[in-house]
Chain A
Amino acid sequence: MNGLPILTLIIFTPAVGALLLSFVDRKNESVMRQGALMISLVTLLLSLVMLTSFDKSLGSYQFEEIQAWVPSLGISYHLGIDGISILLVLLTTFTMPLVFLSTWKCVTDRVKEFQICLLLLQSGMLGAFLALDLIFFYLFWEAMLIPMYFIIGIWGGQRRIYAAIKFFIYTMVGSLLMFVAMLWIYKHAGTFDLPTILASLQSNPMAREEQLWLFAAFALSFAIKVPIFPLHTWLPDAHVEAPTAGSVVLAGVLLKMGTYGFLRFGMPLFPDATVVFTPWICWLALIGIVYGACMALVQNDIKKLVAYSSVSHLGYVVLGIFMYRQANGADSVEGIVGAILQMVNHGLSTGMLFLLIGIIYERRHTRQLANYGGIAKVVPIYSVFFIIATLSSIGLPGLNGFVGEFLILLGVFKVEPLYAVIASTGVVLGAVYMLTLTRRFLFGPLVHEENAHIADVSAREIVYLTPIVVMMVWIGLGSKSFTDLVEPTVIQYLDLLR
């Protein structure tokens, strides 16, 4: 794009911003808050500029940047964006300003460090979505953990230390084996550069057994991040203990790292192993869908309920990703396109739910469902937002969740009707637990006297909730403009899995 390294700018604007903020006096909290918001808005703007020149008819990498970085060790600085990553990058740049705005009142301790951590986290996430060199990707993938670890550990709830350590060790353990697998690929292909490796694999494929091991190493790392049942146990702890901003980023963007990893690296690098592992992963995803939904049914802590719903929702995404080929050998794009869209949808709906839970928690300092009930009359605007988020989460037609789920189920049905039947029970259960939540949380008689004087959402809160609602409706009604960004890439991408 006119020689402007737009992707580099997008990745490093938050990091440079964090560096600038580190020189601001820590007493100057408002400068810190506004500064961080401005930086994230600039990043959003940059990503929108990038979007305007993104050619959606192309299925290949765009705005590529390649530089030798550590040539002696074979690492290159290689960035690129395509239909698989563009929506996720936009999701990240879109979410962060809202997150910053949401923390203005609730984070009062060590404000400076908090803003810096969030900005570094943003750089890490963007870098992981845009890197096309294995080691370069790995750097961001790991570096991302550290700010998140601090966000949970410093600003989290009661059991924050336990949750932070659990989160860190789980994710780290998974990714280290992936690291060895990357070195093995390097031994085979002589480079870490993803496009080059994929090209060389066409003529010089890896042995089947080799692929199985390597895929397993990659899959473990991604499965922990998603998380796929039974590796999900870190998630409820991390979500419940993290501060609101942490939960939003975790659910909104970080979990998608895992599913993105499968799409970008796991499957195209090891096509034969993918075929072998597909039924296993699909069954685990199905178990996750039903299990997550059942767990969500019985939770009394609202945040934990939403956390388990994430396990269920991400199950759909994983299922969609692996439904790429029909029994007769024909490609099926719906699954993957739906999965990518659903990643965004889940980010929006769950992110919004966490923001809303954060808002009510600020006022009442409890997340137990038993302490609420009947607050719809007290906080009507809040309740409207909550209901919209709920409906989006359960996939009401006209809102975003429906499109993604429908595409995924369509894809699944074309490939494996049995899976579709099981997966649909998750949709039903989803409606049950989310509607039960709304009923117990918002409606019914006002039991607790303390709830009678909760303040409704403030102007600032409306400012950061409204864009999410707009996006939900936009995706719900005009989903084609979003799937159009993805589809050409997916069609080309499926050739890699041959």
Chain B
Amino acid sequence: MEELVFSRAEFEAVLPSAILFATGLLLLLMDTCFGDRDPNEDSSPKTHLVLTGVAGALLAFAALSVSAGDTSVRLFAGAMTDDLFGRFAAGIIILATLLTSLAAGGYLSGIGKHRGEFHALIFLGAGAMVLLAQATNLISIFVAVETLSLALYVLAGYVRAWRESAEGAFKYFIMGAFSSGFLLLGMAFLYGASGGSIQLADFGDGLDPVLGSVGTLLVIIGFAFKVGAVPFHSWVPDVYQGSPVLAAGWMAVAVKVASFAALLRLVMATGDSANMAGLIMAIAVITMALGNLAALNQTNLKRMLAYSGIAHSGYLMIPVGLALHEGSVNPKVLAGSLFYLAAYLVTTLGVFVALSSLKHGDRDCDTLDAIKGLGRRHPLIALAITLSMVSLAGIPLTGGFMGKYFIFRDAVLGGYWQLAVIGIVTSMVSIYYYLRPVVAMYFHEPSEKIEKVEAAWGLHLALGITSFGILYLGVMPERLVALSLRSVERLGM
């Protein structure tokens, strides 16, 4: 038997996810050792768990910068690749996890559902997501997808007392298993099409045209489930509605980043040999249109944000289609997706964290009626929600605008101005529903009793960071734009 030896590069490459996994396990241990399972315990802020989580996330973030610069190194016999692209995506995932664990203490104790599993689960999930962002063979991709999914299923059903939580978790599990089936079948086809290789790097020109196309198509469908692209999106609103609002926010961002990272790597590897550009663009168009239209008459904020998340998956698909256009693979345009995801992180997590700082008895405060008059009651939280909404709608001076600008610009430069026009028209539609919470918060008088959670320093800090991030990316985007452009340079090589 061969001896297992890690090279230094391999060690550095797995360091971030290893730290995240270790933090997750540590959190589980801490919870069992220090928690005495007293029912009242669920309302305590458990600051030790929050601080441990934050420290773990910061450490993992620091570990991202340990490995070398703009190189692309294949490690573990091709199972993973250490490059700037992977680290960019991992950075977003870790930041999302950091902000979530920062906010979790105040939120969960506020609704009286604070248990250590929550912290442990997001870190275990995040570890798998970081691995997925770096994975470059079929096996490692699949293992990462399954690991992160397990964490998500449990999080979706985290609040056992809520009926919709159980329903959402069940639906998520069934749909997730179903999509894994597609993914696995597609991988099997790719394995056959490449003549028995599991390495993405081998999926270039040598792919059997028929088997390769079917395989790529099935894998794309598998990931379309994960990111909630139409027509594989029906689980998203139910899962968001059932999940605790903070978990929904974390899922919305982190899953999307990890799945898109994997999808981009895969698409870059198979190239346009499978003629997928048209299909991906069609998915993008339908997803943008349907997501935004369905969001129009939602009165539950979580459902509205779920449809908005679906629509954003559509925008994110545009660069993927562009990258494949006319048979030549052009990874440069994928920078738009990366930047968009970074802007999406602060924007979306901003709303979810803001909603986490409110409660309605022991329930989430998640309807349009519930936030009426928030502008008078809690002006700063209302301001943060407004900022996020403005950014989601893609109005200037916010990260959301820069992201859309980046993507639409590439679409027009790539000769697909129609995509940009459709994107713009769907954005127009979206403005209507993004304004509805703003109308409710500022233009209506308070109707219901909204409470603010106590012990919310972590929530406020997280909210401050996301709001600052939205404005920073809207006003000074240059550094991140340049970084995202550098990140995709070596993709597909």
Contacts and interface: CB of A to CB of B under 8 A. Distances in A.
B428 A172 contact: yes
A391 to B, nearest CB: 38
Of B397, B408, B432, B443, chain A has the most CB atoms within 10 Å of the CB of B443
Interface in B393-425: 395-397, 401-402, 405-406, 408-409, 412-413, 417, 420-421, 424-425
Given A73-B406, A73-B481, A186-B412, 7 more contacts: A70-B481, A139-B397, A140-B396, A153-B443, A165-B432, A183-B409, A187-B413
Nearest to B393: A172
B485 interface: yes
Contact of A135 (B375, B405, B431): B405
B405 A73 contact: yes
A176 B408 CA distance: 11
Contacts of A72: 478, 481-482, 485
Nearest to A172: B431
7 contacts: A73-B402, A139-B397, A142-B395, A146-B390, A150-B442, A176-B425, A186-B413
Contact of A70 (B395, B420, B478): B478
A143 B478 contact: no
A138 B409 CA distance: 14
Interface string A111-154: 00100000000000000000000010011101101100110011
Nearest to A142: B396
B439 interface: yes
A466 B126 CA distance: 66
B443 A161 contact: yes
A184 B412 contact: yes
Nearest to A190: B413
A139 B443 CA distance: 25
Nearest to B483: A72
A104 interface: no
Of A143, A164, A183, chain B has the most CB atoms within 10 Å of the CB of A183
A98 B108 CA distance: 50
A187 B415 CA distance: 9
Contacts of A135: 405
B424 A179 contact: yes
A489 B413 CA distance: 34
A419 B477 CA distance: 49
A176 B412 contact: no
Given A164-B443, A165-B439, A143 B397 contact: yes
Interface in A62-114: 69-74, 110, 113
B427 interface: yes
B475 to A, nearest CB: 9
Given A146-B395, A173-B428, A176-B427, A160 B443 contact: yes
B485 A169 contact: no
B279 interface: no
Interface residues of B, number: 33
B324 to A, nearest CB: 20
Contacts of A149: 435
B421 A153 contact: no
Contacts of A452: none
Contacts of A146: 390, 395
A297 interface: no
Interface in A197-224: none
B442 A177 contact: no
Interface in A150-198: 150, 153-154, 160-161, 164-165, 168-169, 172-173, 176-177, 179-180, 183-184, 186-187
Contact of B443 (A71, A143, A154, A177): A154
A184 B427 CA distance: 18
A113 B428 CA distance: 27
A161 B440 CA distance: 10
A142 to B, nearest CB: 5
Contact of A183 (B395, B396, B408, B431): B408
Contact of B439 (A69, A142, A153): A153
A150 B396 CA distance: 16
A161 B444 CA distance: 9
Contact of B442 (A154, A176, A180, A186): A154
A149 B431 CA distance: 13
Of B375, B396, B425, B439, chain A has the most CB atoms within 10 Å of the CB of B396
A183 B412 CA distance: 6
A435 B413 CA distance: 56
Contacts of B427: 176
A153 B442 contact: yes
A179 B442 contact: no
**A: contact size bracket:** 35 or more
A165 B412 contact: no
Contacts of A187: 412-413
A71 B341 CA distance: 20
Contacts of A161: 439, 443
A176 B428 contact: yes
A143 B409 CA distance: 20
Contacts of A164: 439, 443
Nearest to B442: A154
Nearest to A179: B424
Contacts of B482: 72
A139 B397 CA distance: 7
Contacts of A73: 402, 405-406, 409, 477, 481
Interface in B433-473: 435, 439, 442-443
Interface in B129-146: none
A138 to B, nearest CB: 7
A72 B478 CA distance: 7
Contact of B395 (A113, A143, A150, A153): A143
Contacts of B443: 153-154, 160-161, 164
A73 B439 CA distance: 33
Contacts of B375: 154
B428 A180 contact: no
Given A72-B482, A135-B405, A187-B412, A169 B442 contact: no
B409 A186 contact: yes
A133 to B, nearest CB: 13
A328 to B, nearest CB: 39
Of B390, B420, B442, B477, chain A has the most CB atoms within 10 Å of the CB of B442
A361 B405 CA distance: 44
A213 to B, nearest CB: 10
B178 to A, nearest CB: 37
A139 B396 CA distance: 5
Contacts of A145: 395
B284 to A, nearest CB: 16
Contacts of A110: 376
Contacts of A186: 409, 412-413
Contacts of A183: 408-409, 412-413, 417, 420
B437 to A, nearest CB: 13
Interface in A48-74: 69-74
Given A135-B405, A150-B442, A186-B409, A176 B477 contact: no
Contact of A138 (B396, B402, B481): B396
Nearest to A68: B478
A177 B424 contact: yes
Interface string B7-44: 00000000000000000000000000000000000000
A172 B396 CA distance: 11
A340 B387 CA distance: 36
Contacts of A179: 405, 408, 424
Contacts of B408: 179-180, 183
Contacts of A180: 408, 412, 417, 420-421, 424
A331 B420 CA distance: 38
A71 B424 CA distance: 23
A135 B397 CA distance: 11
A164 B438 CA distance: 11
A113 B379 CA distance: 10
Contacts of A177: 421, 424
A110 B443 CA distance: 12
Contacts of B397: 139, 143
Contact of B431 (A69, A74, A169): A169
